[in-house]
Structure 1
Amino acid sequence: MIRTLTALALAATVLTGCGGERPAPAPKQQAELPRVTGVLSTKNAKTLFGAENRGSPQKAASYGSYAKGCLAGAVQLPETGPTWQAMRLSRNRNWGHPELIDFVQDLSRKAAAQPGWNGLYVGDISQPRGGPMTSGHASHQIGLDADIWMRPADDLHLSRDTRENISSISMRRSSGAFTNNNWTRAHHEILKAAAQDPRVARIFVFPGAKVQMCNDETGDRAWLRKIRPWWGHHYHFHVRLACPKGARGCVNQTPPPAGDGCADAQAWVNNILNPPPPDPNAPKPKPKRELTMGDLPAQCASVLAAR
């Protein structure tokens, strides 16, 4: 059935930017991207992308936005390297844009220089062809997001079975308002090294960690701008790369506000410790519908179809 659908995609979709055709100039917003059309457009996107177990035989390219896109020509992070191990291998989510795979390996070498760390345990990156995941993430769709475990990678000889069952460790206290005793200066330095990489657009971590880093940093504070507070993210931190230079059809997130962002992170912490009263007039959140292929850039049809 998958092959039938992808064949239909080739007949019903404009394949701009793939299969050797020259891509259109990069749009400024997701809304400006041509969408998948035809019979394929109504199909559940996560079902189709989740069924692919290999990257597409295409030139590497990220299409769409972090939460609504796909990935051509993905590279697989090797399961084990000299300074990293990919975790939860059964998920087959250790695929990414070559720039991200290179970044992860670079950061793992820097992490290996920290006391108690031999490198990194790497969580989810993307599926082999990106796209909406079958579970767990709204983003990670274009191969430019990676989850890095907070657990120090002190053993890089874990078996596949161990990597399925071992867990990371939490760094938070008081629902994320503060760090706990698991937090070390090494965490600060690894996050700092990641944020100082020019390829990185932002890093998501729980609010208390951002405030802790703000309090502890005594040197250049410019890198703190990229560290963004967000719910969860106490077992891992989430690195997001900017669209590669010259990429067409890849949509960057709006840059973080100017400044180090420390006051904003403190406001998050204040709201955790003293939650504002609920607004009785606030509209009830609408349940999110699952993405269809028609929500994705047109190039995603050819990414699925490529064999």
Structure 2
Amino acid sequence: MVLPVSASPWEQVTKPSNQMPQAIGSYANGCLTGAASLPLEGEGYQVLRSQRARYYGHPNAVSFIERLASLSSKQLHTRILIGDMSLPQGGRFSSGHSSHQTGLDIDIWLKLADSELSEQQLAEPSPLSVVDLKQYQLLKRNWDERHFKLVKMAANDQQVARIFVHPVIKEKLCATEGKQDREWLRKVRPWWGHHYHMHVRLKCPEGSTNCKPQAAPPIGDGCGAELASWKPQPKPAAPKVAAVKPKKKKVKVMPVQCQQLLDNS
């Protein structure tokens, strides 16, 4: 593992714990015992930036990736590229996401690898955005009908709780799906930043009694007014007001089990 200068305590842990697999705490404030490591390549997938050692997860996460990758190989005739998962014992990254702490979050790039990537390409990958961020519209030259199929396959997996994509991508998914089969769209949630990858979040596993799930997504496909509300609106000139000091964010208290895990590492 290549450690950043400002490595978090969790990034200094190099091996999973030898306990039973448990996702502990919340997605953005937790840890992971008994993690499994995803092999760096397998049927239908390759792992990006393995030097960062973010290819660990709850065994459910590894199984999900292998299922989706196999489907991608057989049905889409391509490989999926796996970005960040979690650290060997979960916990916080020094850079990037605030989530991915319990071994249940997986970034899957929208860049499809129809041919195998080289070691150099995997170590220093170049993302493929499918959204024109300034114009708030789809980059049609980069959109592949297989993107729709890939997101739908992932959303239809019973272990998946949510999938985050850029609002423009959600718009495209909503427009592409027919009138009958729309239940899976409920899981696909709009979120900024997810224009070159989808962020898959799994449900709390059975047996992980200290795992804190998110509330279920709102009823419906999420394709109406809620999605429209994400579209940037012209802002009127704001009147000048006195500067207000931003409120300090509350420091998250780490679950007791996670602090113990860190102390024993």
Give the TM-score normalised by structure 2: 0.89
Helix, strand or coil for the counterpart of 2:30? strand
Displacement, 1:119? 2.0
Residues 211 and 157 of structure 1, relative CA distance in 2, 3 Å threshold: closer
Q: What's the counterpart of residue 178 of structure 1?
A: 137
Displacement, 1:178? 2.2
Could you tell me which of 78, 88, 104 is aligned with 1:118? 78
Aligned length: 255
Q: What's the counterpart of residue 251 of structure 1?
A: 212
Question: For residues 46 and 72 of structure 2, what CA distance do their matches in structure 1 show?
Answer: 13
Displacement, 1:175? 3.5
Larger RCO: Structure 1 or Structure 2 (Cα < 8 Å, ≥ 6 residues apart)? 1
Pair 1:169 & 2:128 matched: yes
Q: What's the counterpart of residue 258 of structure 2?
A: 300
Q: What's the counterpart of residue 195 of structure 2?
A: 234
Q: What's the counterpart of residue 149 of structure 2?
A: 189
Q: Which runs of 5+ in 1 are unaligned?
A: 1-45
Helix, strand or coil for the counterpart of 1:113? helix
- CA deviations on 1:32-89 (whole Å, 9 max, x unpaired) are xxxxxxxxxxxxxx72211011111111001100000000011111111121111001
Q: What's the counterpart of residue 71 of structure 1?
A: 32
Displacement, 1:154? 1.5
Helix, strand or coil for the counterpart of 2:186? helix
Displacement, 1:134? 1.4
Question: For residues 205 and 283 of structure 1, what CA distance do their matches in structure 2 show?
Answer: 33
Q: What's the counterpart of residue 268 of structure 1?
A: 230
Question: For residues 162 and 237 of structure 2, what CA distance do their matches in structure 1 show?
Answer: 30
Displacement, 1:285? 4.7
Displacement, 1:192? 0.4
Residues 128 and 47 of structure 1, relative CA distance in 2, 3 Å threshold: same
Displacement, 1:158? 2.2
Question: For residues 299 and 130 of structure 1, what CA distance do their matches in structure 2 show?
Answer: 12
Displacement, 1:247? 2.1
Could you tell me which of 205, 217, 223 is aligned with 2:184? 223
Q: Which runs of 5+ in 2 are unaligned?
A: 1-6
Question: For residues 16 and 65 of structure 2, what CA distance do their matches in structure 1 show?
Answer: 18
- CA deviations on 1:171-224 (whole Å, 9 max, x unpaired) are 002447322121121101110011111111100000011011111101410000
Helix, strand or coil for the counterpart of 1:301? helix
- CA deviations on 1:13-35 (whole Å, 9 max, x unpaired) are xxxxxxxxxxxxxxxxxxxxxxx
Q: Are the equivalent residues in 2 in contact too, given 1:66–1:139 (CA < 8 A)?
A: yes
Pair 1:208 & 2:155 matched: no
Q: Are the equivalent residues in 2 in contact too, given 1:83–1:156 (CA < 8 A)?
A: no
Helix, strand or coil for the counterpart of 1:233? coil
| Percent identity for Structure 1 against Structure 2 | 42
Question: For residues 135 and 187 of structure 2, what CA distance do their matches in structure 1 show?
Answer: 19
Q: Look up the equivalent residue of 1:304 and give its one-letter code.
A: L
Question: For residues 287 and 167 of structure 1, what CA distance do their matches in structure 2 show?
Answer: 36
Question: For residues 187 and 177 of structure 2, what CA distance do their matches in structure 1 show?
Answer: 14
Q: What's the counterpart of residue 62 of structure 1?
A: 23
Displacement, 1:155? 2.4
Helix, strand or coil for the counterpart of 1:85? strand
Q: Look up the equivalent residue of 1:243 and give its one-letter code.
A: C
Question: For residues 245 and 163 of structure 2, what CA distance do their matches in structure 1 show?
Answer: 29
Pair 1:106 & 2:71 matched: no
Question: For residues 288 and 153 of structure 1, what CA distance do their matches in structure 2 show?
Answer: 40
Give the TM-score normalised by structure 1: 0.77
Q: Look up the equivalent residue of 1:216 and give its one-letter code.
A: T
Moved more, 260-269 or 61-70: 260-269
Question: For residues 176 and 124 of structure 1, what CA distance do their matches in structure 2 show?
Answer: 28
Residues 277 and 257 of structure 1, relative CA distance in 2, 3 Å threshold: farther
Larger % of helix: which? 1
